[in-house]
Amino acid sequence: MTLPAMQYDRRETTAWITRPILVMAVVFATLPLWIETVGLYQYLGVEVLIWIVFALGFNLLLGYTGLPSFGHGAFFGIGAYAFGLAQFEVWANLWFCLAAAIVVTGAFGAVTALFLAHRRGIYFALMSIAFGQIFYFIASKWTDVTKGEDGLLNIARLPADFGVAEVSIQSNTALYYFCYAVMMVLIVLLWRLTNSPFGRTLRAIKQNETRVAFIGYPVRLYKWAAFTLSCGIAGLAGGLFAMAQEGAYINIMSLQWSGTIVLIVLIGGGFVSFWGPVLGVILYFVARDILGAYTEAWLLWFGLMFVVLVMFKPDGIAGMWRGWVAPRLRGRGATTPAPRPAESRS
Amino acid sequence: MSMKAVNRRSFLKTSLLGGAAGGAALFGPWTHNRVYAAASDKPIRIGLTHDASGQFANSGQAEKRGSEMAVAEFNAKGGVLGRKIETVWMDTETNPQTGTRVAERMITRENVHFLAGAVQSGTANAISQVAQKYGCVYFNTNSSSPTESGANCHRVKFVWDGNGENFSKAAARNAINSFGNNWLLIYNDYVWGQNTNAATKKVATEYGATVMDEIAIPVGTRDWSSVLLKIQQMKPDVVAAAVGGDDFKVMRQQVHDMGLDRNPAWINNQQDWPDIFGLGADAAFGVFGTTWYHYLDLPGVPEFVKQYQEMYPTTRISVPGNVTYNGYVAMRELLRVVEEVGSTDNMKVIKALEGRVMTAKDRMQHFDAVIDANSHQVQQTIYLAEGNAKPRDDTDYFNILSWSDPEAIRSSAGDECKLESYADTPSYDQG
Amino acid sequence: MLYDLIPHIINGLALGLLFALLALGFMLIIGVMEVINLAHGSLFALGAYVALAVMVPDGGLPYAFMEPYYALPDVPRYVIALIVGPLVVAVVGAGLELCLRRTYGQDPLYGLLLTFGAALVLEEGIREIWGSSEYYLPIPRGISGGFIAGDLIYSTYRIYAAIFAAAMIGLLWLFLNRTPYGAIIKAGAHDGEMVRALGHNLSRLRLFVFAFGAALAAIAGIIMAPIWGIRPVVGVDAVVPAFVVIVLGGVGSFWGAVSAGLLVGLVVGLTAAFATDWSLLSMYLLLLAVVTFRSRGLAGKASVLES
């Protein structure tokens, strides 16, 4: 009854910068140069980066701790509102507003986590839906603050003030590079975190919560911390998204989007790989733009793909990569077989 | 009317075969070819941001049919300025996030000259912010939140539908005389509902009604039985409802089911044609507003209906309604203005649209309409209607009761509109 | 005041029976198979759409071929819809169970995710076939319209629906507790190995239970259709309350779910009458309140779903 484990080579887990991180850095650094050549557009790049940030934070819960939150879209939305309100009501400074988005969303997450930290599996999933719905309804009703379905509009892309110089991130490309910097920093930090003793404990909780508790770890505290942290990152993504859209809208808080992030992360292979969320986001957005141009039923095909994946390859794209591609790249067959879900019966 | 016709892909195909949408509608990013022709014969590209999924999928497709009718009409006459008109359509999914992305893509990648289409205000706002950033003229065809041409107005945005306040003004004035003084207000607890309710309350009290209570209904309410029981217990003469979207459909069904549709008198805000078509005249309950109806006794109306039916022989909605009408008249006016100013330059087009008077005859309505120069809302005739007890055929759901002069029902939301100056609006012309 | 309250209490209970009906199929599948069937709502919607096709000429079947059939009076057509809808959906449910088999023995999260994907596929599939338009499921004249109770008018159909729901609940209870099949199903919920040891085919049992649960979802969909209307998204409106009712009642408890349904109905009904703007939240706040103090709901037992 366990979920597949995250397994990495020790050489990787002790490093700050690994080969995949370098590949990420290069691919996304050059993306604005070639994205239009392949027929896409700059804004799509911005959105992909922001969703990668969101998905990486989400996977701290789903992939690393094994907690399926079906209400995470709400925190993304709260981050966007927090960014906008901080800008309008307090201080229109990029760093301050981003910090506000992280802290406010983290605080909402921390309170929610008090109710969720002692839940497991399905009960956790359901309670997360309930909280997501509560936040959604409040945001929809409290129109003085959130402007409801009209959206909180005219959120500015604030200049990045480095003390000595102020850099404008007004254009899509400039905003892209700002998000790129944020994402790369986050990736390195998350990579270290997930391979720290804290991260290893989360992974152990995913494998067997009861055992971890018996050993004497304060499991609830760990789960609480993972949830709060994940919400903080969702808030960061929300803040960036508010700038990208130059507004904060309620739709993202709906159940539908909370489900979408689960779908994205799982398809990418979030269960077995740190990079699963990245792969999932790229696939989702590219598929959406390409399939979406040909058929309005693209969600049908995407859903079918998801179902087939859960049935036959729940490790997602990352799992496929490990199972089929990576061993061949190494040229000496499968050295580390992709971790399979345990086949024990209930 | 077979179900096959509803299939959206087959619809798309027919519209393509009809040559209306132009080849561009289905162009994916990988097969797209840019047109590098001399400026004179380069097509004028119009980005259609009509929803095909999400809450307003139906209305989105209805207004798309209207836009495409106007485009087909002009292309049949040889285009505008001797140039063919091409449309690029992308599904905005009734979702602001998608709206933003689609608008960015339309402007930065598809190089459209103009944008048109919206039903939900959040999506409309998302598109108009992007449009304003680049300076691209955008027609909000069907979103009726008063804030659209109020607090959230933009220099590049033009709003073609009547708003919630127009409708409540039109309805309230007439209802007090006919139905009585004791009013109960119910509204969906979100921006459109709150604004519209406030407007109704103001008008109703001005005309001497007593507001017994105001009940805020959460968006997404599926069960109305408690509210309906409470309404009965309060015994109002009139229930004025500002309830929208799916909630309205569910409410309508449950009111009908309880047999409460005659007494008390119901005043509903606006009844969009795609939301009622197929449900029968029974489904139209109470008194409600609309901007157009296919049995208006005016010249041009039957021809327009025929033109629609020729272009969309297989569409489930077999006659055009207000949503298609708005899409059509908006697009037609845009193309006319481009022809008149002889250019696709945004400033020239905007200036020609501001304050533009459109005759009643031309718009198939009872009064002349004008594009308000200060709010960019089209001030137009609003019709009051009720369910039709004596329908002449199976599409004749409405009995038109009266029509209001645009001036008499002018929305005060426009006072809150502060358009960006011309200088602050980037100049935009895709050539 | 009390006099004013009575109609709302009755209405709340009627509503509660409908909530319980909504949750029956969900409960069966979760109880026996330990699968959270997130496609429950989509099966609910599909049931309504199939009934629509059976009831009205515009509902999706080839008209010319079916013409003599549509000439039938509405009562037989309605009864046929109530039979055909669940049958079709049961077949779809059985198909879903065959897909689900690959997830057995793994973390229950996989079952949840698979059915979540299936829900998406079903909803989009419905959209492809029937479009996004709203439909209205006609009901026989005898159970439509309003009736006068004191100085209030109430919906005849709601009374019918509540009685129908109560009957379904009773029948299901009798089936589970008074028939040999029910005994096997219940045994399957506790100990699959035991069922196998006793010589019953466990995989056939699971196939049957899932198909049965899907059929119950379809019945709920057909009963709710005249109240909620038929739209592709109607499934989401159904699955969330079903979920709430089950968790509130306690996973695996029949009467826990029924009483939770009634409780939710009462709470939602009364808040909708007296604090309308909080009516939708009330369901979730109730859930939080109960589950915070009784973590397995009103009558729940420990279950494998928690690990």
The ranges assigned to domains in chain B are: 3-162+298-380, 165-290+381-413
CA dist C170 and B395 (Å) reads 44
If pLDDT is split at 50, 70 and 90, which confidence band does C148 have?
A: confident
pLDDT above 70 as % of chain C:
93
Helix (H, G, I), strand (E, B) or coil at B335: helix
Is C62 within the bounds of a domain? yes
Residue of C59, C132, C280 lying closest to B220 (CB–CB) = C280
Buried b or exposed e, range A183-204, using 16+ CB within 10 angstroms:
bbebbeebbebbbeeebebbbb
Q: In which residue are the tokens 């393509």 written?
A: B16
Q: What is the pLDDT of residue A119?
A: 83
> B183 has which bridge partners?
B211, B238
Q: Does A133 touch chain C (CB under 8 A)?
A: yes
Judge if C222 and C276 occupy the same domain.
no
Residues B165-290+381-413, CATH architecture: 3-Layer(aba) Sandwich (3.40)
CA dist C179 and C163 (Å) reads 23
Of residues C257 and B413, more confidently modeled: C257
How many angstroms away from the CA of C143 is the closest CA of chain B?
10
Q: In which residue are the tokens 């909370």 written?
A: A258
Q: Residue C305: is its pLDDT beyond 70?
A: no
Mean per-residue pLDDT, C65-89: 87
Alpha carbon A56 to chain centroid distance?
4
Beta-carbon separation of A255 and C240 below 8 A: yes
Is A42 within the bounds of a domain? yes
Q: Does C285 touch chain A (CB under 8 A)?
A: yes
Judge if C172 and C296 occupy the same domain.
no
Query: CA nearest B128: which of B105, B104, B156?
Result: B156
How many angstroms away from the CA of B91 is the closest CA of chain C?
14
How many angstroms away from the CA of B230 is the closest CA of chain C?
6
Of residues C2 and C115, more confidently modeled: C115
C90: containing domain = 25-233
Judge if C219 and C184 occupy the same domain.
yes
Judge if C194 and C258 occupy the same domain.
no
Residues of B in contact with A149 (CB under 8 A): 120-122, 190-192
Q: Residue C1: is its pLDDT beyond 70?
A: no
Judge if C80 and C143 occupy the same domain.
yes
How many angstroms away from the CA of C253 is the closest CA of chain B?
26
For strands B357-358 and B287-290, give the pairing.
unpaired
Residue of C60, C129, C277 lying closest to B216 (CB–CB) = C277
Residues of B in contact with A290 (CB under 8 A): 28-30
Q: What is the pLDDT of residue B28?
A: 39
Residues of A in contact with B108 (CB under 8 A): 41-43, 172
* Tally of domains in chain A: 1
Is C18 within the bounds of a domain? no
If pLDDT is split at 50, 70 and 90, which confidence band does C302 have?
A: low
A105: containing domain = 17-254
Question: What burial class does residue C144 get, using C-beta atoms within 10 Å of its C-beta: 0-12 exposed, 13-18 middle, 19+ buried?
Answer: middle
Per-10-residue mean pLDDT, chain A, length 346 = 72 84 94 89 94 97 92 96 97 96 98 90 84 91 84 93 90 96 97 94 90 91 97 98 95 90 91 93 88 77 89 87 78 48 39
Q: Minimal Cα distance from B154: which residue of A?
A: A154
Strands (E), chain C: 146-149, 152-155
Residues of B in contact with C3 (CB under 8 A): none
Neighbours of B86 (CB within 10 A): 22
Mutation site for B-interface testing, chosen from A296, A298, A302 by largest number of B Cβ within 10 Å: A296
Retrieve residue C274's tokens. 């007296």
Q: Spell out the residues 6+ positions from residue C96 whose beta carbon is closer than 8 angstroms to its own.
A: C39, C115, C118, C210, C214
Q: Does A143 touch chain B (CB under 8 A)?
A: yes
Q: Does A211 touch chain C (CB under 8 A)?
A: no
DSSP string covering C61-96, please? S-HHHHHHHHTS-HHHHHHHHHHHHHHHHHHHHHHH
By 3-state DSSP, what share of chain B in percent is helix, strand and coil, each rounded to 5? 45, 15, 40
Is A89 within the bounds of a domain? yes
Helix (H, G, I), strand (E, B) or coil at A30: helix
Q: What is the pLDDT of residue A281?
A: 96
CA dist A58 and A69 (Å) reads 8
Q: Minimal Cα distance from B232: which residue of C?
A: C152
37-66 in A: which are within 8 Å (CB) of C? Answer: 66
Query: CA nearest A130: which of A112, A147, A104, A107?
Result: A112
Calculate helix-pair angle for A255-268, A42-59, nearest 10 degrees.
Answer: 80
If pLDDT is split at 50, 70 and 90, which confidence band does C237 have?
A: confident
Judge if C209 and C280 occupy the same domain.
no
Residue of A40, A42, A251 lying closest to B96 (CB–CB) = A251
Neighbours of C57 (CB within 10 A): 18
Q: What is the pLDDT of residue B8?
A: 37
Is C6 within the bounds of a domain? no
Which chains are adjacent to chain C, needing at least 3 Cβ pairs under 8 Å? Answer: A, B
Q: Does A133 touch chain B (CB under 8 A)?
A: no
Residues of C in contact with A314 (CB under 8 A): 106, 110, 113
* Tally of domains in chain C: 2
Query: CA nearest B332: which of B116, B111, B151?
Result: B116
Neighbours of C128 (CB within 10 A): 17
Cβ-contact C123, C247 below 8 angstroms: no
Q: Does C107 touch chain A (CB under 8 A)?
A: yes
CATH code for the part of the protein at B3-162+298-380? 3.40.50.2300
Q: Spell out the residues 6+ positions from residue C90 whose beta carbon is closer than 8 angstroms to its own.
A: C211, C212, C214, C215, C218
**pLDDT for B47-87, tens place per residue?**
999 998 877 888 999 999 999 999 999 999 999 999 999 99
Beta-carbon separation of C107 and A3 below 8 A: yes
Residue of A121, A134, A255 lying closest to C109 (CB–CB) = A121
Retrieve residue C234's tokens. 């109607």
Helix (H, G, I), strand (E, B) or coil at B45: strand
Q: Look at phi and psi of residue A339 and say left if phi exceeds 0, alpha if psi is from -120 to 50, else beta.
A: beta
Torsion angle defined by CA atoms of residues A145, A148, A154 and A155, in that order, rounded to the nearest 10 degrees? 60
Q: Does A144 touch chain B (CB under 8 A)?
A: no
Residue of C15, C128, C153 lying closest to B260 (CB–CB) = C153
Q: What is the pLDDT of residue B1?
A: 35
* B32-41, C46-55, C263-272: range with lowest mean pLDDT: B32-41
Q: Does A92 touch chain C (CB under 8 A)?
A: no
Q: What is the pLDDT of residue C95?
A: 96
CA dist B113 and B136 (Å) reads 7
Judge if C123 and C262 occupy the same domain.
no
Residue of C135, C231, C268 lying closest to B223 (CB–CB) = C268
Q: What is the number of alpha carbons within 13 Å of residue A135 lying toward its C-beta?
A: 28
DSSP string covering B110-179, please? S--SEEE--SSHHHHHHHHHHHHHHT--EEE-S---GGGGTTT--TTEEE-S--HHHHHHHHHHHHHHHH
Q: Does A341 touch chain C (CB under 8 A)?
A: yes
Which pairs with CB-CB distance under 8 Å and at least 24 residues apart come from A318-324? A318/A268, A318/A269, A318/A270, A318/A272, A318/A273, A318/A275, A318/A276, A318/A279, A319/A4, A319/A269, A319/A271, A319/A272, A319/A273, A320/A269, A321/A269, A321/A273, A321/A279, A322/A272, A322/A273
Per-10-residue mean pLDDT, chain B, length 431 = 37 36 37 43 93 86 96 95 93 91 93 94 93 96 89 95 88 80 90 86 88 90 91 92 86 85 86 87 86 96 96 92 97 97 95 96 96 95 92 93 90 90 94 83
Q: What is the pLDDT of residue B30?
A: 39
Residues of A in contact with C251 (CB under 8 A): 122
Mutation site for C-interface testing, chosen from A1, A211, A310, A343 by largest number of C Cβ within 10 Å: A310
Beta-carbon separation of C272 and B227 below 8 A: yes
Residue A164's identity, in one-letter code, is V
The Cα-based distances of A279 to A211, A275, A298, B72, C115 in angstroms read 32, 6, 18, 43, 22
Residue of C7, C227, C280 lying closest to B254 (CB–CB) = C227
Residue of A118, A266, A343 lying closest to C113 (CB–CB) = A266
Beta-carbon separation of C132 and B57 below 8 A: yes
Is A334 within the bounds of a domain? no
Cβ-contact A67, A3 below 8 angstroms: no
Which one of C233, C268, C290 terminates a domain? C233
Q: DSSP character for C305? A: G
**Rounded (5°) CA angle C206-C212-C217:** 125
Query: CA nearest B291: which of B241, B366, B345?
Result: B366
Mutation site for A-interface testing, chosen from B8, B30, B157, B188 by largest number of A Cβ within 10 Å: B30
Residues of A in contact with B96 (CB under 8 A): 151, 245, 247, 249, 251
Retrieve residue B151's tokens. 């607090």
Which chains are adjacent to chain A, needing at least 3 Cβ pairs under 8 Å? Answer: B, C
Q: Residue C281: is its pLDDT beyond 80?
A: yes
Q: Residue C296: is its pLDDT beyond 90?
A: no
* Sheet architecture: strand order including B378-379: B357-358, B369-371, B378-379
Residues of B in contact with C129 (CB under 8 A): 3, 7
How many angstroms away from the CA of C156 is the closest CA of chain A?
32
pTM of the model: 0.88
CA dist B331 and B117 (Å) reads 10
For strands B382-387 and B398-404, give the pairing.
antiparallel
